[in-house]
C-alpha cells in the first residue's frame, strides 16, 4: 500500500510541531499539550520534515522555509515540556535553487543530531550531504557528495562505534540511471571511512547491535531489494525479488530477522543476473 505524501504548507512558511501528551480517556477530544511554530521571513513554502527525541527528552526537529528559489534549513531543539526552544538555528541555503527534498534525522548519545538531506545547485547538479548538529544547535561538520542528481533518504548513528551511516541514491552521468549509495562517516569529524554503491536506489536504512547496515530499495533491474553490509563496507548478502517494485521501509527484531515493506507492480522483473 502506498502511503500518502508528506504535508506541505502552501499558504505560509510555517514549521509546526505539536506534542500530543494526554492521559487515556474515553470520548475525549485530542488536544495538543503544546504547539511550537516558526514563521520565517518571505512568502514561500515551509515544511517540517524530521523529528526525533533524545535520551534527555529533548525534541529535535528540522524543516525548511523561504521564498521561491531559496530554502533555509530550520533546526530546533525543544524540551519535552514544550516552548520556548532550547535552541533554534537557521542555516541559510540561498545559494541553492531547490530546497532539501528530504531531511531524515538520527541522534547520537551526547545530544547531537545528524541530518541527511539533498539539494539542487544553481547549475542543476545535486548535493547529497550529511551534517552534524551539536547539542547546542550549531553546525559541527558536514559531508558532501556532488552528483548529477543526489537524493538522501536515511541516516543512522551507532554510538558504540562512533559511526554515522547515510543512504540514498546518486546519478553521476545519466539521470535515468542511478546507483544506491551508502556511506559510513566518523561521528566525531565526518571523515569518510568507506562508500558502498550497488543496485539502483536505497530508500531506508537500519543498523543492528553489531553496526551492520541493512538497506532496502530498488535493485539494478528495478526490483525489490534488501541487502546487508557489514561494518567494513562489504556486502554479506542480498535479496532481490523477481517482481518489479521497491522496498520502502525496514525494521529489525531482537532475533536478527529483517522485515521490509514496499511496493510491487505485479509484473516479473528482467531475468538479468544480479
The residue extents of the domains of the chain are 9-23+30-96, 100-274
Which value, in Å, is the radius of gyration of the alpha carbons in the chain?
19
Q: Are 126 and 150 in contact (CB under 8 A)?
A: yes
**Grid-cell match 525479488, residue found:** 241
C-alpha cell recorded at residue 25? 480517556
Q: Is the pLDDT of residue 207 over 90?
A: yes
Q: Is the pLDDT of residue 231 over 60?
A: yes
C-alpha to C-alpha distance for 186 and 163, rounded to whole angstroms: 5
Average pLDDT score over residue span 77-101:
71
pLDDT at 200: 75
Q: What is the mean pLDDT of the chain?
A: 75
Mapped onto helix, strand or coil, the DSSP state of residue 187 is coil
Q: Which of 1-15, 197-211, 245-259 has the lowest mean pLDDT?
A: 1-15
C-alpha to C-alpha distance for 259 and 221, rounded to whole angstroms: 21
Mapped onto helix, strand or coil, the DSSP state of residue 84 is coil
Could you report the per-residue pLDDT of 108-138, keeping only the tens digit for each? 777 788 888 777 666 667 778 888 888 777 8
C-alpha to C-alpha distance for 108 and 110, rounded to whole angstroms: 6
Q: Which of 43-47, 156-160, 190-194, 243-247 has the lowest mean pLDDT?
A: 43-47
The CATH code for residues 100-274 is 2.130.10.10
Picking from 84, 88, 103, 80, the residue whose alpha carbon sits closest to that of residue 19 is 80
The pLDDT confidence band at residue 103, using thresholds 50, 70 and 90, is low
- How many H helices and E strands in the chain? 0, 20
CB proximity list for 237: less than 8 A, separation 6 or greater? 227, 228
CB proximity list for 155: less than 8 A, separation 6 or greater? 104, 105, 106, 114, 115, 116, 130, 164, 165, 166, 167, 205
Amino acid at each position: 500500500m502506498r502511503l500518502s505524501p508528506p504535508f506541505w504548507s502552501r499558504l505560509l512558511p510555517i514549521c509546526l510541531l505539536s506534542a500530543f501528551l494526554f492521559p487515556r480517556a474515553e470520548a475525549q477530544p485530542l488536544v495538543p499539550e503544546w504547539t511550537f511554530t516558526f514563521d520565517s521571513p518571505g512568502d514561500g513554502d515551509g515544511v517540517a520534515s524530521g523529528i526525533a527525541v533524545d535520551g534527555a527528552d529533548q525534541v529535535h526537529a528540522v524543516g525548511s522555509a523561504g521564498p521561491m528559489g531559496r530554502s533555509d534549513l530550520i533546526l530546533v531543539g525543544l524540551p519535552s515540556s514544550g516552548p520556548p526552544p532550547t535552541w533554534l538555528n537557521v542555516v541559510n541555503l540561498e545559494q541553492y535553487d531547490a530546497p532539501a527534498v528530504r531531511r531524515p534525522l538520527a541522534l547520537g548519545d551526547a545530544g547531537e543530531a545528524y541530518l541527511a538531506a539533498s539539494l539542487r545547485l544553481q547549475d542543476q547538479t545535486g548535493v547529497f550531504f550529511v551534517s552534524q548538529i551539536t547539542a547546542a544547535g550549531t553546525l559541527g561538520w558536514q559531508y558532501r557528495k556532488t552528483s548529477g542528481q543526489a537524493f538522501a533518504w536515511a541516516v543512522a548513528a551507532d554510538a558504540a562505534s562512533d559511526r554515522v551511516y547515510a543512504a540514498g541514491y546518486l546519478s553521476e552521468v545519466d539521470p535515468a540511471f542511478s546507483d544506491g549509495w551508502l556511506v559510513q562517516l566518523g561521528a566525531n569529524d565526518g571523515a569518510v571511512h568507506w562508500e558502498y554503491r550497488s543496485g539502483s536506489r536505497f530508500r531506508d536504512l537500519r543498523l543492528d547491535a553489531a553496526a551492520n547496515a541493512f538497506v532496502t530499495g530498488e535493485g539494478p533491474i528495478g526490483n525489490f531489494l534488501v541487502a546487508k553490509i557489514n561494518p567494513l563496507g562489504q556486502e554479506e548478502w542480498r535479496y532481490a525479488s523477481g517482481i518489479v517494485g521497491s522496498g520502502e521501509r525496514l525494521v529489525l527484531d531482537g532475533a536478527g530477522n529483517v522485515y521490509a515493506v514496499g511496493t510491487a507492480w505485479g509484473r516479473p522483473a528482467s531475468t538479468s543476473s544480479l
